[in-house]
Structure 1
């Protein structure tokens, strides 16, 4: 949309539409710039004109910094076919991204994220790379570059869940480390780090002991309580098997699918603390884990509350935790532990406090839903969000893919 009328006469939505149109044209012009750069580099125009390379030429003609000139040239080389001095043609690394940029659907920052994501997946074959590029472009149509970067960490699990085959000789790299030093007075100081499974077990063992004492007042700080809790755990371990029953168990895996499916491919794993693990890690830990079956109702949904209530009960919040795994607003990465339970149909209008009428929203997006034109509805038991027309003229519903189970592809 191009408006020639004074801007003060334009409505708010017309201003946003006009700005979006300018951004699209700028991206299309940038795509044309990269296409020209690719041709200049293929022909060796810079050396013919007496320059050492194309970057040096751009520093004079476009007054770009050397770093920016090299950046644009690197993008051009990945998005377009190049011809070597011997006449051989190098096919583009990201042809679909070049087409999306030419349509104005993505920007330079999106291109950088896609380039970096695929560069970190060198083991993919041609078909898997094409699938990964398409998956990233689909998300880029809705996500800003930062959100796309977060999603990029999951692309490998989508297109190649088994990962690259292990090398015959894996370098020795311990996952756990502990350094300790006995002082002259017999006391000890130590530091180290633990792998995911051991860290989870350590946290679960400490929690029952590090709570403040309720009787007589507890003046200990958090560090002192944690130190006392660690000493208590050591004493309990010395008197094994008298371990505490609350949290003092092996890693807990909340399974919302059959245990047989868990053994084959596990994508829906929840650890307290909003931690995630790969499918291969989950399969390994599940072989020796305390498996907690989540009680499901009809259509494989966690239990609903029988009596309507405004305050969301603990078991309903647990159901939201298992279903949404965090803020359900598109592209939000906030964990479930900081989220509110939003009533899709307002409670004041008769909306029940049931899982089918609740969505996990972080405080920021909870405010946005209440104060903007964004809308949310439940589709097949999950929240879907419809953006205003000034965000997406077609107003296509979208959901948060960062917390969703990974889809399987033919690749």
Structure 2
């Protein structure tokens, strides 16, 4: 596919003189042009690799020119970064005649300019290859679904969705993939010549759940986290907002304080009697049958049932019962504020902010009454929904509404100033455990 003439005309245009519609049209068409250029560059990168085959030795293209590897040669001649050159070579191979057949839809999407090189790469890595438990045809179907989603999804959400589809197709392999991620964890302290020490590392999902819970608790008031209603929490939040330290400095000081406290407490007790606030989400059926995935709240990666059982044994589990349609048990009360148990139920069902395209985790959210409480709306989990502070205020102050749709469930209704037709926008839940429970219930009917 060649770039359209209108897209090319945007090159060199001055965006300051454009109206809003033209500005967005230009950005959209330039994005398509960039994807087409990336696709062509990927094809060239794949051919560079083909001409630099290992069996050709020093006669291969990359070796002959002193680059060592085809990725390094692509980096040198195209001016891209090391990471970009590696991605171009990997994805470029999807555009060749020897491409993996189950990823054909991805290659077609890249060539047509619908899927960027980066998004194609996360689809490929997230889905993996066929195995004894996963057929190539099933992977091909999953790849086609991801290609359709790619234009409207961020790279991070698309990567998570690709891994979710692989987990759905290969529940038996969840434990192996969990172990693979755990094997990649590390933490290093590197003394620098200026007297500072650099800390870097990678956290596996189970470790990230623990660290993220502490990080959110320490910093959320400075990062747009939920508002507080009790005086003690409000006072602490106000002090943190007024703190002269940067967010990074607060984070590091919190980390150091946790390490210091942990070394000073009595043996066998860390951070006193209170344990980290990490919740395990798993269906009763999967837990009984010891199969399928489980999830840690605010983490997108599946963990094995064995790891879930370890958390249940070590820290206990918050029991949240669901109806057959995936709704948490109704716990309606006459008071205005949702109870902590109701918030746990909403977190398990929603998985985070339900507003379209928001990725805030459940720990950053506030419980919103779909029907305003002052208008008789019940404080009930069925009529509650988690919204981050920003979107909670947006709904209250900017004319948005939340309704129930017979097909999509919860939907956001924009104000007429944004969409005169006020077409409903689906608000899908982000909790994979709740989604799995719903799917299981439907199969049983």
TM (norm. structure 1) is 0.58
Shift of 1:368: 5.5
Helix, strand or coil at the partner of 2:348: helix
CA gap 1:26/1:400 in 2 versus in 1, 3 angstroms: farther
Shift of 1:114: 2.2
Helix, strand or coil at the partner of 1:359: strand
Helix, strand or coil at the partner of 1:94: helix
Aligned residue among 90, 99, 102 for 2:108: 99
* Distance across 2 between alignment mates of 1:37 and 1:196: 37
Check whether the contact 1:80–1:92 (CA below 8 A) recurs between aligned residues.
Answer: no
Partner of 2:332: 305
Check whether the contact 1:38–1:73 (CA below 8 A) recurs between aligned residues.
Answer: yes
Partner of 1:26: 34
Q: How many residues align?
A: 337
Partner of 2:164: 154
Name the structure where helix makes up a greater proportion of residues: 2
Q: Of the two, which has the highest radius of gyration?
A: 1
CA gap 1:402/1:110 in 2 versus in 1, 3 angstroms: farther
Aligned residue among 346, 349, 366 for 1:340: 366
* Distance across 2 between alignment mates of 1:346 and 1:95: 49
* Distance across 1 between alignment mates of 2:14 and 2:279: 62
Aligned residue among 428, 432, 435 for 1:399: 428
* Distance across 1 between alignment mates of 2:149 and 2:433: 13
Helix, strand or coil at the partner of 2:341: helix
Aligned residue among 86, 90, 98 for 1:74: 90
Check whether the contact 1:378–1:384 (CA below 8 A) recurs between aligned residues.
Answer: yes
Helix, strand or coil at the partner of 1:162: helix
Partner of 1:16: 24
Partner of 1:116: 125
CA gap 1:402/1:307 in 2 versus in 1, 3 angstroms: closer
Partner of 1:130: 140
CA gap 1:34/1:322 in 2 versus in 1, 3 angstroms: closer
CA gap 1:22/1:39 in 2 versus in 1, 3 angstroms: same
Check whether the contact 2:412–2:424 (CA below 8 A) recurs between aligned residues.
Answer: no
**CA root-mean-square deviation:** 5.6
* Distance across 1 between alignment mates of 2:104 and 2:114: 14
Partner of 2:303: 278
Shift of 1:163: 0.8
Check whether the contact 2:356–2:426 (CA below 8 A) recurs between aligned residues.
Answer: no
Check whether the contact 1:312–1:341 (CA below 8 A) recurs between aligned residues.
Answer: yes
Shift of 1:361: 2.2
Helix, strand or coil at the partner of 1:106: coil
CA gap 1:404/1:355 in 2 versus in 1, 3 angstroms: same
Partner of 1:314: 340
* Distance across 2 between alignment mates of 1:333 and 1:56: 35
Shift of 1:161: 0.7
Shift of 1:160: 0.6
Q: Do residues 354 (structure 1) and 364 (structure 2) align?
A: no
